Structure 1
């Protein structure tokens, strides 16, 4: 699975932006999505005029049940029918979650409802689903069982596909989908713009067993965890680099989907998408009559929530919280945001490792957290990993710089041959240490955090500007690597095995920095069956990579604070079961009045 990226600070779910919607990354079944840094969630009942209730992230051995708040109800106790409207930071334009341009938390949130067979990161996708604690079990809507046998150093995985599993156009979900997924994601054809090959290069063959609904997978070396494979399946019609890379731009291809809801209407001009129950769905039928997604900047979400136009939104900054506090017919749900990030450096543009090390050194991470969480009454352990949260039993703090501050940053640059020019900017061979921080969206806390980082880096002798972008541009900008540095990060899962390759492999990672020695360690650790030993090996790779290459610097994780319409059931901070806050789309609905 791939981690999705999160937007900067403001929003919701897969590459994540520090401001807006989240995009997927560490491993929650699939590639980590990239996300903006600003998305938060919450637990408990409504807020007070003085701000959110005090809450804190959990350290090692913490009680993760305190990080979940969904108003859980059985579907039979809910009002049949009804509709729910949810905001996203961006809808499309690329709807292929397996590609770099489509690998976002927002895309995963959308696809979880209408196409869970193809969700490549999140709490459910393809053959797998996760519980709140991050334990993976087969998703029986698509894969009734997944069994593994290791003999003579090689592994055979047998997958029994649900006989009823069928794409919306009537094509059976069978061996062809599994073979297509492997052929594309193993990375042998560089023309496919995939996020990460993950464990697929270790697969030697994917063949039919007793029927096309039995899949026999053989590997060159054992692969762990098993959910590294076939978390998300690629439809056989996606059969060329052109279709994969460009065929989903503005086109969802609902005929190639399978899920509890189906596409009813997509209006690219109005930036809305509506889904209704899928009459061809063989699984549990949804409670709701319809779900609508609206693309909205955070400022527009505030008015929409107050006016009853949307039914939930994240309030991950004090500015958002105060504007929403006291809204009629609403409550606050608080928990842990599955996000790790801060300094997402594009090493393809900030190419000098000395400049990247100076960035890590100049940053006052505690000061950034104070700005980011100002007024939210949120405390958390210092974030020192891109791959695991501090409450994980496998977590370790891998931040590579101990002596920080402007003087220490200038010394890093001086030792690398930089000297101050007439303006006080450190330069080498006539080239200044100059770059921009991309800020997404219109949330004032996101901008304040970016400006604080800018001042810290300027004090360290670097020429740093701000590149202001709209929230809707987040996925495109980060996916196409059209930035120098952004306050963003990735969704975090319960296991570091996939993310270590996605982030730190010299060939698979977006930054393309690393070395053969680390690549071998990454390849070898995938065969370690013991979860603790394998994750320890992954964390050691991260520690070594950070200290050599300085490409991604963790600063914070953060809470998930969600304002939710009173009576909405089975929605809210859900930890690993659902980064998009909907643990099960079939049970999302309204309490009976």
Structure 2
């Protein structure tokens, strides 16, 4: 499942991640770096100050910022589907988190290779016979939720029952491959899970990358029960909730005495909800131990901070144009938006002073360095005149104020901008001017960082400069974004839906991803709902001595490859 992300600023360590090694930099900005294309040596793209646990102090505390904490803590629901929520809960609840390099039965290495996570699943075996698939999962005998409930076939069956269809009343982000599962039953015992499908499902790790506690068994609990309540009793992980202070907007966690896996090095982890400007002061004062500085204004304010390192890479992020088709209902207006945008100009504003170059990206699902990537951006002729032509051809004419309108209705909407970073605001203002030049009446709806999850989850926006985390395989993303029954805009058609359903049965990775990319190309050219303006760098300022933290590619979208090994180097 892809997680929602804001475009930048310090907006959270939760932002999706990154690509090259440490960078220095003085007043002129950081050293030159660039986004990678296919064939790159991705082993060079990790910057975490890697150390074995034996080299670290036992105990200690780490404090990290988030753009927003809550209010909905259900990561499987639309309202809880954010990178911030994922980053917050992974230390406490890796059994459930369906992103961030770990979740349920699976874990991901930095190149994107997925293998069973032995903390929860000892093995996962798949057999296809007569066009149907049987998947056998052997669950770790020690795996248990905090409330004492065994992690066994009941959790797997409950996960399937909730996620298999958006029509059951559960506000799920996507049904993924669960609609093709026929049954989930116990094998020789409740710790052996036998999954049978109506058609083969690939990759197999598209199933049970996150498990839902059996007690979450009604739409009411799923949709409303996590508002303001994390339900730590339904979690399982190396840390446990110590305190959630709604007034101070902090979450504190400590080692979980019920955890059967490797014990964490740290004695305390704290997350604080902070606006970007507050994060700057907190990092310089030593109150937080890391923050993102993905704009030049942030970089210059943090550069030279005592006892800090700079760890640099590329965000695993795609986006920029996130349109709400339920409010911008005319596809011609949406197409005109795509046509009006000068993506190169927006990237220059966004990356001004960062010495960052990247190929122009044209996919929401894969980054240009993926061997499966193709450019699917649906508009070739761009600029103000191109946008006006789109609208003119659709029957729009300019009114007395120069705004294109049809049947008395102007092409009018607002851009929602989140947070107080000046660069992200400058990007929104530049986009506003580009769209206005294309004959559209465009305002800016300025919101706090803390509003991001609520506004995007409840679709209270027209256009947002936001996007999603990017994974190594497009199979899940193509359904989440482009299946008409699943995507938040409800855009699509039966032909595309069939192509999406069929591609999940293609075992060959290259062929399956090619089919997914072709669906994206066709959907973008028909419906114009999401478009990529940039991917971007990840630049993290990190307290000197913090080990196993930083840009980690696919191993962690929250910059912590393993919450049991993050800690402080012995002095």
Cα distance, 1:43 vs structure 2: 2.9
Report the counterpart of residue 16 of structure 1 in structure 2.
none
The question of whether the paired residues in 2 share the 8 Å contact of 1:87 and 1:293 is answered with yes
The question of whether the paired residues in 2 share the 8 Å contact of 1:11 and 1:21 is answered with yes
1:405 aligned residue (375, 380, 383): 383
Report the counterpart of residue 399 of structure 2 in structure 1.
421
SS in 1 for 2:278: helix
1:584 aligns with 2:562: yes
Report the counterpart of residue 118 of structure 1 in structure 2.
96
Cα distance, 1:499 vs structure 2: 0.2
Provide the alpha-carbon RMSD of the alignment: 1.1
- 1:188-239 Cα offsets, whole Å, 9 max, x none, are 5441100000000000000000000000000000000011000000001101
2:171 aligned residue (169, 193, 197): 193
1:430 aligned residue (403, 408, 431): 408
Report the counterpart of residue 488 of structure 1 in structure 2.
466
Structure 2: distance between partners of 1:487 and 1:362: 15
Cα distance, 1:111 vs structure 2: 1.1
SS in 2 for 1:87: strand
1:125-524 to 2 correspondences below 5 Å? 125-187=103-165, 189-524=167-502
Structure 2: distance between partners of 1:378 and 1:518: 36
- 1:244-299 Cα offsets, whole Å, 9 max, x none, are 01101111111110000000011011000000000000000000001000000110
Cα distance, 1:122 vs structure 2: 1.9
Cα distance, 1:584 vs structure 2: 0.1
- 1:315-363 Cα offsets, whole Å, 9 max, x none, are 0000000000000000100011000001000011101000000000000
SS in 2 for 1:382: coil
User: Given the superposition, is the C-alpha separation of residues 403 and 464 from structure 1 closer, same or farther in structure 2, using an over 3 Å criterion?
Assistant: same
Cα distance, 1:11 vs structure 2: 3.6
- 1:515-555 Cα offsets, whole Å, 9 max, x none, are 10000000000000000000000000000000010000111
SS in 2 for 1:156: strand
- 1:453-502 Cα offsets, whole Å, 9 max, x none, are 00000000000000000000000000111000000000000000000000
Cα distance, 1:65 vs structure 2: 2.3
The question of whether the paired residues in 2 share the 8 Å contact of 1:329 and 1:565 is answered with yes
Structure 2: distance between partners of 1:45 and 1:406: 38
The question of whether the paired residues in 2 share the 8 Å contact of 1:43 and 1:561 is answered with no
Structure 2: distance between partners of 1:41 and 1:518: 33
Give the stretch that moved more between structures: 141-150 or 43-52. 43-52
Report the counterpart of residue 79 of structure 1 in structure 2.
57
Report the counterpart of residue 8 of structure 2 in structure 1.
9
The question of whether the paired residues in 2 share the 8 Å contact of 1:23 and 1:103 is answered with no
Report the counterpart of residue 36 of structure 1 in structure 2.
none
Structure 2: distance between partners of 1:21 and 1:424: 43
Structure 2: distance between partners of 1:190 and 1:278: 34
User: Given the superposition, is the C-alpha separation of residues 188 and 486 from structure 1 closer, same or farther in structure 2, using an over 3 Å criterion?
Assistant: closer
Cα distance, 1:64 vs structure 2: 1.6
The question of whether the paired residues in 1 share the 8 Å contact of 2:10 and 2:279 is answered with no
The question of whether the paired residues in 2 share the 8 Å contact of 1:167 and 1:255 is answered with yes
Cα distance, 1:77 vs structure 2: 1.0
User: Given the superposition, is the C-alpha separation of residues 163 and 40 from structure 1 closer, same or farther in structure 2, using an over 3 Å criterion?
Assistant: closer
Structure 2: distance between partners of 1:188 and 1:563: 41
Structure 2: distance between partners of 1:237 and 1:173: 12
User: Given the superposition, is the C-alpha separation of residues 338 and 50 from structure 1 closer, same or farther in structure 2, using an over 3 Å criterion?
Assistant: same
Cα distance, 1:40 vs structure 2: 7.1
Cα distance, 1:48 vs structure 2: 2.0
Cα distance, 1:9 vs structure 2: 2.2
Report the counterpart of residue 31 of structure 1 in structure 2.
none
Structure 2: distance between partners of 1:188 and 1:455: 38
Q: TM-score, normalised by structure 2?
A: 0.99
Report the counterpart of residue 29 of structure 1 in structure 2.
none
Report the counterpart of residue 30 of structure 1 in structure 2.
none
